[in-house]
Amino acid sequence: MSDTESRTPSWARPVPVPEHAAGAGRVLRAAFAVATALDLGSLLAGWHLGHVLAKPLLMPLLVAYVITRKAPRLLIAALLFGWGGDLALLFDADPAFLVGMGSFAAGHVCYLVLFGRGKTHPALGGAYALALVGTVALLWSDLPADLRIPVAGYSLLLTAMAYRSSALGLRAGLGGALFLLSDTLIATGVADWPQLPRPDFWIMATYAAAQYLLATGALPAPTQAYRRTVIQD
């Protein structure tokens, strides 16, 4: 282990992967795309079984892909917590909704730690703060009373994650924004607001894109991965 690696926290170190994993990575990324297309197509067609079968595959496939790209452990944890939220939200019940929200919240904490203290634009922070206050204020009276505080707390954490994601660049920043949009669509449904046609399709489309952009935006650059290999050699 190099001196640089010895000073790196364990959660920030990449998971060791076999050499020549690029081929497997391409297959896994294609499998994620196929599973996403199957899920979205099922939602458009109103085929519930297809959604139930495809949705649980998304995050494990994305996790497997990022592992082939030497993903930091915190990124893997964030995606696995997202998977837990995905499974919980397959059940139409308030307790499952709270469990799912808690799992996603844990994933956002992982993302926040992973993003570190990189620079972000203050104006963007102001825009996200206004969006948070405005959305919670508008939704508050229409949310079930027992969900108001949990939703407000989760919204604060989610907005912080979306804002801080921009520290990793445009790709991750767009992923954070799409995650915020996806969960806002869920919240408007819980508040019984008028919805777009096929709301589940838009929720899953923005969510799948968000997780992919966040995950690939947080991966080490190929030159960095190469440099680590050379140092170790």
User: Structure tokens of 92?
Assistant: 């139409």
Per-residue tens of pLDDT for the chain, all 233 residues: 545 454 555 555 666 665 566 689 999 999 999 999 999 999 999 999 999 999 999 999 999 999 999 999 999 999 999 999 999 999 988 899 999 999 999 999 999 999 998 899 999 999 999 999 999 999 999 999 999 999 999 999 999 999 999 999 999 999 999 999 999 999 999 999 999 999 999 999 999 999 999 999 999 876 544 444 444 43
Question: With the C-alpha atoms ordered 60, 66, 71, 75, is the resulting torsion angle positive or negative?
Answer: negative
Q: How far is CA 173 from CA 11, 128, 156, in A?
A: 21, 12, 17
pLDDT at 133: 98
Question: What is the Cα–Cα distance from 174 to 177, expressed in whole angstroms?
Answer: 5
pLDDT at 93: 85
pLDDT at 18: 58
pLDDT single digits (tens) 114-144: 999 889 999 999 999 999 999 999 999 999 9
Question: What is the Cα–Cα distance from 129 to 151, expressed in whole angstroms?
Answer: 16
pLDDT at 9: 58
pLDDT at 11: 53
67-92 exposure pattern, b = at least 16 Cβ within 10 A, e = fewer = bbbbbbbbbbbbbbbbbbbbbbbeee
pLDDT at 10: 58
